[in-house]
Amino acid sequence: MKRWRNTGAVLVAVTMLWSCNDGNDNNKDENFGATPPPTPGTIYIFGGFGSPAQDGAEPKGTLTAVTINGNPVLFGRTAIGGTNGCGIIFSVNPDGTNYTVQYGFGGSDGCDPRHDAMTLNPIDGKLYGTTQGVNQTIPTPPNTYGNWGQIFSFTPGTSIPSPINAVHTFANPSPTVAPFDGAQQHSSFAIDPTSGSLYGQSASGGANSAGMLYAVNTDGTNFIDLYDFTKDNGRDPHGRIILVNGVLYGIALSDGVLPGSGAGTTYGFGSVYAYTLTKPLANGSATVLHTFAGAPSDGAFSDHGYLTPVTVGGKTILFGMTQCGGSGPQNANCKDNGGGSGVIFQIDPSAAPGSSAAFNLVYSFRAISATDGALPYGSLMYDGTYLYGTTSIGGTYGNGTVFRFAPVAMGGTTTPTLLYQLGAHASDGIKPIDNVIKIGNTLYGMTVYGGATGPSPDDPTVTGNGAIFAIPLPP
How does pLDDT run across 265-296, given as a tens digit for each residue?
899 999 999 999 999 999 999 999 999 999 99
Average pLDDT of span 464-470? 96
In a domain, 9, yes or no: no
Q: In this structure, are residues 24 and 119 in contact, taking their beta carbons and an 8 Å threshold?
A: yes
Averaged pLDDT, 201-215: 94
d(CA 229, CA 244) in angstroms, rounded, equals: 21
CA angle 312, 316, 321 (to 5 degrees): 90
Give Cβ neighbours of residue 104 (< 8 Å, ≥ 6 apart): 54, 82, 83, 84, 86, 87, 88
Instruction: Give the C-alpha distances (Å, rounded to integers) separating 270 from 49, 229, 230, 259, 335.
Output: 42, 11, 11, 13, 15
> Environment class of residue 337 by beta-carbon count within 10 Å: exposed (0-12), middle (13-18) or buried (19+)?
buried
Could you read off the pLDDT of 335-377 as tens digits, one per residue? 999 999 999 999 999 999 999 999 999 999 998 777 789 999 9
Residue 193: C-alpha distances to residues 16, 26, 382, 390, 417 (Å):
10, 13, 20, 29, 34
Domain that residue 442 falls in: 19-115+434-475
Half-sphere exposure in the Cβ direction for 102 (13 Å, CA): 21
* The pLDDT value given to residue 18: 28
pLDDT value for 127: 98
Does residue 147 share a domain with residue 200? yes
Residue 254: inside a domain: yes
Give how far the C-alpha of residue 101 lies from the chain's centroid of Cα atoms, to the nearest Å. Answer: 21
Same domain, 289 and 417: yes
pLDDT score recorded for residue 8: 36
Per the CB < 8 A criterion, the answer to whether 30 and 410 are in contact is no
pLDDT classification of 26: cutoffs 50, 70, 90: very low
Q: Is residue 356 part of a domain?
A: yes
Same structural domain, 419 and 301: yes
Across 306-331, average pLDDT: 96
Question: pLDDT of 242-267, one tens digit each?
Answer: 999 999 999 999 999 998 766 658 99
The model's pLDDT over 369-379, given as tens digits with 9 standing for 90+, comes to 777 899 999 89
Of 281, 126, 124, 304, which is closest to residue 215 (Cα–Cα)? 281
**Domain match, 274 and 357 both:** yes
Does residue 201 sit within a domain?
A: yes
Residues 297 and 412 in one domain: yes
The sheet carrying 315-322 orders its strands as: 308-312, 315-322, 343-347, 359-364
Quick one: pLDDT band at residue 123, thresholds 50, 70, 90? very high
Question: Could you give the number of structural domains in the chain?
Answer: 3
Q: How far apart are CA 188 and CA 237, in angstroms?
A: 12
Looking at the fold, whether 49 and 180 belong to one and the same domain comes out as no
Query: Which residues, in sequence order, are CB contacts of 250 under 8 Å at separation 6+?
Result: 201, 213, 237, 239, 240, 241, 242, 272, 273, 275, 306, 307
Question: Is 3 within a domain?
Answer: no
d(CA 418, CA 341): 17
Average pLDDT, the chain: 88
Let me know whether 405 and 443 are in one domain.
no
Question: Among 317, 296, 305, 323, which residue's Cα sits nearest to residue 411?
Answer: 317
Residues 128-153 have a mean pLDDT of 75
Could you please report the per-residue DSSP string of 243-264? EETTEEEEEEEEB-BPTTS-TT
If asked whether residues 124 and 105 sit together in one domain, one would say no
**pLDDT at residue number 52:** 78
Whole-angstrom Cα distance, residue 413 to residue 345?
Answer: 9
Cα-Cα end-to-end distance for the chain: 25
Residues 245, 305 share a domain: yes
Buried b (16+ CB within 10 A) or exposed e, 412-443: eeeebebbbbbbeeebbbbbbbbbbbbbbbbb
Q: How far out from the chain centre does Cα 254 lie?
A: 17
Can you tell me the distance from the alpha carbon of 469 to that of 252, in angstroms, rounded to the nearest whole number? Answer: 29
In this structure, the answer to whether residues 278 and 401 fall within a common structural domain is: yes
Instruction: Answer whether residue 8 is part of any domain.
Output: no
In a domain, 7, yes or no: no
Residue 457 lies in a domain: yes
CA pair distance 59, 5, nearest whole angstrom: 29
Q: Is the peptide bond before 72 cis (omega within 30 degrees of 0)?
A: no
Cis peptide before 296 (omega within 30 of 0): yes
- Say whether both 419 and 447 belong to one domain: no
pLDDT at 53: 76
- Has residue 457 got a pLDDT over 90? no
* For residue 29, pLDDT beyond 60: no
Residues 34 and 153 in one domain: no
pLDDT of residue 137: 54
- The predicted pLDDT at position 218 comes to 97
Q: What is the torsional sign of CA 205, 208, 209, 211?
A: negative
Instruction: Work out the pLDDT band at 25, boundaries 50, 70, 90.
Output: very low
